[in-house]
Amino acid sequence: MTRVKVIPENKKNIIDKIIEMSGENIRDCMQCGKCSAGCPASDGMDLLPHQVIRLLQLGQIDRIVESKSIWNCASCFTCAQRCPRNIDIANIMEAIRLTIIRCVGNSRLKADDVPSKVDCKMPQQAIVSGFRKYNK
């Protein structure tokens, strides 16, 4: 039986950067779905939190980047509280957002870029919080 590489080499560096930045081990996730069940922002997500982790495990970073889920995460840490493996998914979502922003060319988010990144149904405090965080 031959081993098959699940994560292509060109995507592995990005995923390793996300894991390093978040400090979380995505391989510990057993896909129980408790994070998605407790997520208050899951109504506005096209990929639920446990699906984002699974796509990271499989190296399908392109599907994650194209989704709105990472931008709709309110970083409320409900997922971290519910996780039986103590994986802080909010930190992983944060690392994914930062990686995308840094790949665009800089580590700052401009005010003009905010409307294209967020959903209009997102709570205003999440938008203001995200802007303060990324504008440093």
Mean pLDDT of 74-93: 90
Question: Domain residues of the chain, as ranges?
Answer: 9-134
What pLDDT does residue 37 have?
92
For 43-77, how does the pLDDT look when each residue is reduced to its tens digit (9 = 90+)?
Answer: 888 999 999 999 999 888 889 988 888 888 888 88
* Rounded Cα distance, 84 and 91, in Å: 16
* Rounded Cα distance, 99 and 11, in Å: 12
- Please give the model's pTM, rounded to 2 decimal places: 0.70
For 94-132, how does the pLDDT look when each residue is reduced to its tens digit (9 = 90+)?
Answer: 999 888 877 766 555 566 666 666 666 666 656 666 666
Class of domain 9-134: mainly alpha
